[in-house]
Amino acid sequence: MANDDTDVLDTDTDAETGTDTETDDTAEEVSDDAAKDETGEQSGKAGSEAARYRRRLRETEAERDALRTQLAAQHESLLAGVIEPKLVRAAGFDPAEALDDNGVFDPDKAADLARRTNGELGLGPRRPLPVSVAGQSRDRDRGAPRRLAGAFSPENLHRG
């Protein structure tokens, strides 16, 4: 009987060991699943955070490109006050040569660029703009009386 008791005890021990092992395996699987869920949540959070940063980056790049285009249009407009930018390009020069080291429009550099462009294209010096008041008397602009007799009328005596 002693042998039977030992066999039973060994079987119980094996059964207990097997059960304990199964419990340990199940606990490890549960902890692995929990770790995967936490990792999934973390990677989900990291993925959404990365997506948010990518979206902000795209918005910032679009804003930068719009500002760059707007600045180039302003530089073209300023240069157009001195010389037509398409003439500058036709002469083989870059309109950006009218900017200083900080990227600010420099009227002196623009005038030099205009002279070089005119020389390259053989356009000659730039003509001055016509005077809009040429041929008009100064008295008429001030509202002065047109005749000598009108100068002494009562309504014109109070003018200062």
Output DSSP code: residue 94: -
Q: Give percent of the chain with pLDDT exceeding 90.
A: 15
Q: Using pLDDT thresholds of 50, 70 and 90, give the confidence band for residue 159.
A: low
Determine the Cα angle at 21 with ends 19 and 8, to 5°.
45
Run of H or E residues at 144: none
Greater model confidence, 54 or 11? 54
pTM for this prediction: 0.45
SS3 103: coil
Predicted confidence at residue 129, as pLDDT, reads 75
Predicted confidence at residue 13, as pLDDT, reads 45
Q: Which among 153, 145, 98, 91 has a CA at the least distance from the CA of 116? A: 91
Q: What is the pLDDT of residues 37-78, one digit of tens each?
A: 555 556 778 889 999 999 999 999 999 999 999 998 998 888
Distance CA 105, CA 147 (A): 51
Predicted confidence at residue 68, as pLDDT, reads 94
pLDDT of 144 > 90? The answer is no
Least confident of 14-18, 53-57, 142-146: 14-18
